[in-house]
Amino acid sequence: MISQQAAASIRGQRKEGLASKFSTDKIIVGNKFLFLQRNENDLMKKLSDTEKSSLGEDTRLVLAGRNTDETFGFVNVPPFRGSTVVYKNAADCMSRRNRYTYGRKGNPTMDALQDAWSELEGAAGTVICPSGASACTTALLSCLKAGDNLLIVDSVYRPTRDFCSNVLTRYGVTITYYDPMIGAGIEKLIQPNTRAIFMESPGSHTFEVQDVPAIVAVAKKHNITTLIDNTWATALLFRPIDFGVDISINAATKYPSGHSDVLIGLIAANEKALPALKATHGDLGVYLGPDDIYLTLRGLRSMPLRLREQGANALEIAKHLAASPHVKRVLHPALPSCPGHEFFKRDFKGSSGLFAIILNAQTQKQAEVFLDTLTLFGMGYSWGGFESLAIPFDASDYRTATSFNPGGRAIRLNIGLETPKDLIADLDRALEAMAKA
């Protein structure tokens, strides 16, 4: 227990200037604890929404989710670890009158990331999930019930597809897959019980860019909730909520955290979709520990720089590979040959570091030689980290609304922060080795 004398001593120290930054703080002695009640001092100048809107995205991401008034002047919000939150008195406890009530339901570290991401997305609010797959499933559960129909793009991330086909169907939700290039034609697929349309643009592995505004217009006409997996672009390159999408999902495992050491998903929603999203998120007991959230916040500050560099590197490499005789096709949204390139030019601010190539190779052995010859590319799943990766893929065995017949072996490339000429030389060596196999 802190005595009245101890509190008086602290006050005295403050008056003597030992903590002059906090000289307007007020010490409150409770039954067992010492509380600091902070006045509205100016450790960090508060900017109005109007002032923030005039700032560049890099500046806004440096400032977003930070309030040094609440962190005693420290730049970063620390990881708040804890399950139990104690109350000052019985009345507060019984009425749950406290800023935080239980560890799973919120802490300052969670607030910082949610606030920062909501600001970046232009969203009414954000919830945090323990992975990108968890974010996709939580978002879908927030807007579907037994008897509903879901329209979902055929190029969707495979784990999301598996959840729809293996889990949602068990609970009475029917699933209709659609061609990613359908645009306004999606209206022909709408049934009386269609409640949600799920998009992913560009598409997973095959990178088709959807006509999001056309699909959203149809959805609004029929009062259907729209969701999009926006992991490839992040809100820096494409802001779904600005285009009328209700729910924007991001596997923050990728670019926001950026260092291949965190699994995390973020779901941002507009005012219409947020209440159901928050309720579902709470009812499912979804939670992520503060250390992973802290690492994501740290990664978020440098995301614009990394995304620009990786995007530029990837485009340079994609153009080089497009001219190679050993590459049949390059699937990159910024190249005119990519399906939906016109929508990319219209809607996106730039491209990220992920794309695919179709090799002029027909056998598995040739693909293996290509991959095994690479020295600067790791072989591993996920992407968006600082290191370059290459994995083989085949979408032909699960697509139902469209077919995947690339005419060669398909490889997905994640371009990292290495020097582009080094990566190009590595790829060229691997292609030459493949051609000789």
- Give the catalytic positions in this structure: 104, 157, 229, 254
In the chain, the amino acid numbered 396 is: S
Tokens 């670890």 belong to 81
**Token duo for residue 318:** 């994609």
Residue 324 CA: distances (Å) to CA of 138, 354, 357, 389: 42, 19, 11, 20
Count the Cβ atoms, other than its own, within 10 Å of residue 6: 13
Residues 356/218, Cβ–Cβ less than 8 Å:
no
Name the phi and psi angles at 16, rounded to 5.
-80, -5
SS3 state of residue 334: coil
Residue 395 region by backbone torsions, left for phi larger than 0, else alpha for psi between -120 and 50, else beta: alpha
Q: State the DSSP H helix or E strand holding residue 280, giving kind and residue range, or none if neither.
A: helix 274-283
Nearest to 40, CA basis, from 22, 14, 27: 22
**Token duo for residue 181:** 């290039």
Q: How far apart are the first and last CA of the chain?
A: 76
Q: What angle do CA 329, 350, 196 make, to 5 degrees?
A: 85
In the chain, the amino acid numbered 283 is: D
Q: Are strands 34-37 and 125-129 parallel, antiparallel or unpaired?
A: unpaired
Alpha-carbon span 377 to 317, nearest angstrom? 13
Instruction: Strands of 20-67 (E only): list them.
Output: 26-29, 34-37
Count the Cβ atoms, other than its own, within 10 Å of residue 291: 12
Alpha-carbon span 10 to 14, nearest angstrom? 6
What size, in residues, is the chain? 437
Nearest to 414, CA basis, from 295, 288, 251: 251
